[in-house]
Structure 1
Amino acid sequence: MPQDPDPTPARETVEPQEAFAELGRLVVGETPLQQVLARVAELTLACVPGAEEVSVTLLEGEKAHSAAFTGKLAATLDERQYEGGFGPCVDAAQSGQVVRVDDTAAEDIYPDFAATAARQGVRSAVSVGMPMPQRVLGGINVYRFDEDPLDEDAVQILQVFAGYAAVAVANHSLYASSMALSANLQVAMQSRAVIEQAKGVLMATLHCTADEAFAHLATQSQHANRKLRDIAAEIVARTAGR
């Protein structure tokens, strides 16, 4: 039986500009990072039309975790992806891309994730990488139970919001981070660089767009049951060895 979404009180509604402004008002050092992340998830749910459950993925080195979420189902679906090391939320956080699964009943790039999500009643999902220049990689994930996926306007709002959230999270992370965390996050940044290099190789060899190159990488990752970063590294290494 599909799992119903967690019962919630009346949903908060916030205009996008108000949400952006609230993130900008957070004072570094006064608001704990966990509280910032929880508010990022809440504001995403409140300002992105059609969002029904939201989670925030953070990458530290090679480890991913859901730092905040608005419902248990979002966290559960995220964790299934972290176990295997790939899936929409992991790939979006690593690459900075927008990764869409518009119909979990007919998804061929992420079939395992889609099948699991469909069994829980999730019809579509969008993951957006937060454009962080240093220290932290992450993404925001939106899940929907309704038949129609997020429309383009909603996805654009989500992308803009992810940019504001990235600044808030990066500022707090810079304030609180240790040398060990910095080293781990450097590994994550290197992963994103390798993925970008592999995309460039594929665009040149396959004569395709950046989005098509990323889809090609994601498909190979799923079919080989291997991490996106590892597939990308092999492509870059093969090219360098020619």
Structure 2
Amino acid sequence: MLVSIEDRVPASLLDEASEALEELAGVLADEQSLDDVLQQLAESASRVIPDAENVSVTVVGADGASTVAATDRKVVAIDAAQYSAGDGPCLEATRTQRPVRLAVEGGRERWPQFAAAAEEAGVRAYLSAPLLVEGGTLGSLNLYSSDESAFDPFDEALLRLFTTASAAAITGFRRYERSRVLVANLERALLSRSEIDQAKGVLMAAHGIGEAEAFQRLVEESQTHNTKLRVVARNLLDSVRRP
């Protein structure tokens, strides 16, 4: 007989998980940075998942892996040991896109640097799940416990539900960020075009030259001083506006 997660999870815990995700959505709505969103994710997971004494978020980018959010500085050192060695449970979860759950003692042979750093920090059990977003894997959500028997398959299933919902929110956030950057770039381009057109008009009126020659003079000034064309135009406009 199959038992659903709803049947196994206390109603209060489901309510708390729902509230945590609503808070995360609220952070997104407030136009916070992605780092703020991931910090909120770490704190929410620590509160919702019973065995999670501490939580960190690993992000893997072009420059490698880094810990961008954590509920306690001591777990940052555990993550750093994995990044230094180039392997460990959080990196494996990111690479394989599958959760990794283990007692630290069982990882001594496979990941000695990770195991040593974990034991030094008093961590005895570890659970990492990938954060899958649009276009690939952002990184992983990592849970730590001082109890060696922590994190059973049920915790893993709950974490996967949590990361799936969170990843959907993060994907939406990244789309919004891309749109906001695009709009800002378009606004700057329109402003630059306006300033360049005004600067051409100033040169045409001052020297009795045509539009093409005025533009060529701006380009030559830009190349001579290794300055962007919009900056040359703005400087010229500023000079004629001075008393």
**TM-score normalised over the length of structure 1:** 0.62
Structure 1 equivalent of residue 200 of structure 2: none
Partner of 1:106: 106
Letter in 2 for 1:16: A
Distance 1:60 1:174, change over 3 A: farther
Q: Give deviations 1:54-113, integer Å, cap 9, x for gaps.
A: 0001111251111100001111111111122211111212221101122x2232432331
Specify the structure having the higher radius of gyration (Cα): 2
> Could you say which residue in structure 1 is the equivalent of 2:145?
144
Whichever residue aligns with residue 78 of structure 1, its letter is: D
Change beyond 3 A, Cα 1:22–1:79: same
* Counterpart for residue 88 of structure 2: 87
Q: Output the CA distance in 1 between the equivalents of 2:85 and 2:111.
A: 12
**Higher share in helix:** 2
Amino acid in structure 2 at the alignment position of 1:125: Y
Query: Is the contact between residue 28 and residue 175 of structure 1 (CA under 8 Å) also seen in structure 2?
Result: no
Equivalent in the alignment of 2:165: 164
Cα deviation 1:135-191 (Å, max 9, x = unaligned): 652110001112322122222111111111212222223333589xxxxxxxxxxxx
CA contact (8 A) 1:97 1:129 kept: yes
- Name the SS of the counterpart of 1:109 in structure 2: coil
Q: Secondary structure at the match of 1:161?
A: helix
Residue deviations 1:8-46, cap 9 Å, x none? xxxxx9712222333344445722212111100000000
Long gaps (5+) in structure 1: 1-12, 180-242
The 1-side partners of 2:136 and 2:93 are apart by 16
- Opposite residue 100 of structure 2, the aligned amino acid is V
AA partner of residue 164 (structure 2): G
**Structure 2 Cα separation of the partners of residues 137 and 50 of structure 1:** 24
Aligned partners of 1:41 and 1:151: how far apart in 2? 19
Give the conservation status (yes or no) of the 8 Å contact 1:29–1:175. Answer: no
Q: 1:128 to 1:135 in 2, by over 3 A?
A: closer
Aligned counterparts of 2:22 and 2:29: Cα–Cα separation in 1: 15
1:52: Cα distance to partner?
0.6
Give the 3-state SS of the residue equivalent to 2:122 in structure 1.
Answer: coil
| Corresponding residue SS for 2:51 | coil
Q: How does 1:1-242 map to 2 (within 5 A)?
A: 15-27=16-28, 30-102=31-103, 104-107=104-107, 108-134=109-135, 137-176=138-177
- RMSD of aligned C-alpha atoms? 2.3
**Distance across 2 between alignment mates of 1:59 and 1:28:** 25
Q: Is the 8 A contact 1:94 1:137 kept in 2?
A: no
Contact 2:79 2:114 in 1 (8 A): no
Percent identical: 31
SS in 1 for 2:133: coil
Whole-angstrom CA distance in 2 between matches of 1:159 and 1:54: 14
Q: TM-score, normalised by structure 2?
A: 0.61
Question: CA separation of 1:136/1:151 partners in 2, compared to 1, >3 Å: closer, same or farther?
Answer: closer
SS at match of 1:121: coil
SS at match of 1:163: helix
Q: Which amino acid aligns with 1:113?
A: F
CA separation of 1:28 and 1:136: change in aligned 2, threshold 3 A: farther
Pair 120,130 (structure 1): closer, same or farther in 2 beyond 3 Å: same
CA 1:95–1:62: 2 relative to 1, 3 Å: farther
